[in-house]
A = this chain, B = another copy of it.
């Protein structure tokens, strides 16, 4: 158990003498030294409330939890998605295989098999993209959760890399306004529709697919020549009579870990081209290898996971703000919300015992500098402490910039990022109580050169592995999602009320709510 380890006791003891960053201890030397260089990214963590003794205890915790071995087992394809002793999913977790397609020789047999399956779909995609050429100007992706948030975040992040004249749209919500809004802006004749559902029976996705098919038919366009399925082999959606093409995904790739599979691949191949899609895979694959093979002290996602556990379990901070200083990452926090909160928002451990310690925090965030003019007031001067993870880039995506009063916009952006990191840590005394900043707000900076497809792939994989490492250390199953079931079952019952098909005592609560619709 996480909280019965020797290092947990040590860390608990160390948390009683906290590192104080406000009394001159955030020095230039500290900033120079507390940096870990990894693939594509450096992690600058001088503004976290840790010292060498705490770091050592955190790495001891990782060692006791066998974090590195578990990462290896995951990437080797062992069955790790399960709750021991209870009915549960019983699967390997091999999203890393979807990008292990560059001739790696180290893969274990299960992983190799998965990578071969992935490679087959990638080859199919290359062929498909060549075949369609420039026949379509627009693509609509219909999917929800992992079939929407990750792909959407990547699509928005790579806007400057989009092929000219190509537009991508997303429909996710069962709210009819979502589909109607998108359908207003496209010409069915020139539009490709990618329907994504692993199970082939996601309510929102099937409803929206039907919605869009109807509209295509009304416009005199046969959906058959426009609809593509991304689904599990032999799912109800795996039906060549209805789709122009089908691409497969598998049980060993969870929805929230699926952006580098065909769930994101078809859309990205269309939007940014096949070579750029491969650059994403390559960036992610480099981070995968790093997460698996780098020694703990040099392991970027592991260090980040441990700093997060320090803040969560020993400083007792219940949320994490993820603030990219890059407008292109506008929708990336929404992807991380799913990735992190759906993976680690668990209250029983891998043996089914209730966790006696906090697990996944609330993840939220918006780009800086925008956030500075919004919620930063609370972060600087509220009654709660919010740890922050900043993401920054040395260069902008577009090469055009403008020098105003001696500095470019990119330099202004970076100045703000660094200033916030320092201000949050150091604080400021003042005789006027309303101008006091208590400081000691822990934060770290993930810094890379430029947000291109390769770097974005690495960023995606970095967070996947940070989340997985935290799950390994907390001894929870980061790969199931039993918490979505109850709402789904109740929604079906209430839906039956709307359809007037069923009416029994079990539905009376829903009926009471429905009655309020008519008030």
Q: Mark A347-388, 1 if CB is under 8 A from B, else 0.
A: 110001111011111111011111011111111111110100
A interface secondary structure, majority: helix
A219 interface contact, C-beta 8 A:
no
Q: Mark A378-415, 1 if CB is under 8 A from B, else 0.
A: 11111110100000001011101110111111111111
List residues 171-186 of chain A with CB under 8 A from any CB of chain B: 172-181
Known: A214-B402, A358-B383, A483-B437. A327 touches B373 (CB 8 A): no
Pick the contact of A374 from B145, B175, B210, B214 — CB < 8 Å?
B145
Contact of A136 with B by CB under 8 A: no
A418 CB to closest chain B CB (Å) equals 4
Instruction: Please measure, in the bound complex, the distance between the C-alpha atom of A345 and the C-alpha atom of B48, giving whole angstroms.
Output: 22
A294 at interface by CB-CB < 8 Å: no
Which segment of A92-100, A263-271, A494-502 sits at the interface? A494-502
Q: Which of A70-78, A107-115, A504-512 faces chain B?
A: A504-512
A276 at the interface (CB under 8 A from B): no
| Contact A409–B516 (Cβ < 8 Å) | no
Return A368 CB to nearest CB of chain B, in Å.
8
Asked if A435 is an interface residue, CB under 8 A from chain B, the answer is yes
Cα–Cα distance between A320 and B318 once the two chains are bound (Å): 12
* A367-B486 in contact (CB<8A): no
Beyond A480-B434, A509-B26, whether A378 also contacts B328 by CB under 8 A is: no
What distance in Å separates the Cβ of A498 from its nearest Cβ neighbour in chain B? 4
A418 touches B494 (CB 8 A): yes
> How many chain-A residues does the 8 Å CB contact rule pick out?
159
Q: Among the listed B83, B381, B485, B499, which residue makes an inter-chain contact with A483, where contact means beta carbons less than 8 Å apart?
A: B381
Of B87, B149, B172, B510, which is within 8 A of A432 by CB? B87
Q: Is the pair A345, B378 in contact by a Cβ cutoff of 8 Å? A: yes
CB distance from A504 to the nearest CB of B (A): 13
| Contact present for A487 and B373 (CB under 8 Å) | no
Contact A380 B87, beta carbon cutoff 8 Å: no
B348 touches A513 (CB 8 A): no
For the complex, is A44 an interface residue (Cβ under 8 Å from B)? yes
Residue A482, interface by CB 8 Å: yes
Take A318-B318, A487-B376, A487-B419 as given contacts and tell me if A352 and B83 are in contact as well, using a CB distance cutoff of 8 Å.
no
Per a CB cutoff under 8 Å, which of B354, B380, B381, B513 touches A433? B354
Chain A 322-346 against B: per-residue CB contact (8 Å), 1 yes, 0 no?
0001111000001001100110111
Residues of chain B within 8 A of A407, CB atoms compared = 495, 498-499
Contacts of A176 in B (CB 8 A): 396, 398, 400-402, 408-410, 413
Our pick among B484, B509, B512 for the contact of A376 (Cβ within 8 Å) is B484
Query: Is B423 within 8 A of A486, CB to CB?
Result: yes
**Quick check: is A125 within 8 A (CB to CB) of the other chain?**
no
Assess whether A383 is in contact with B355, with CB atoms less than 8 Å apart: yes
Asked whether B177 lies within 8 Å of A398 as measured between CB atoms, the reply is: yes
Identity of the chain B residue whose Cβ is nearest the Cβ of A144 in the assembled complex: B373
CA distance A374 to B387 in the complex (A): 22
Does A32 interact with chain B (Cβ within 8 Å)?
A: yes
- Give which listed residue, B87, B145, B437, contacts A370 with CB less than 8 A: B145
Q: Nearest 9 A-B pairs (CB), nearest first?
A: A345-B378, A145-B373, A406-B499, A345-B382, A419-B490, A338-B374, A31-B512, A381-B483, A380-B483
18 additional A-B pairs beyond A344-B378, A405-B499, beta carbons within 8 Å, are A28-B508, A32-B512, A83-B434, A149-B370, A160-B181, A177-B396, A210-B404, A338-B373, A341-B375, A345-B375, A345-B381, A357-B383, A358-B384, A376-B487, A406-B501, A419-B493, A419-B510, A420-B487
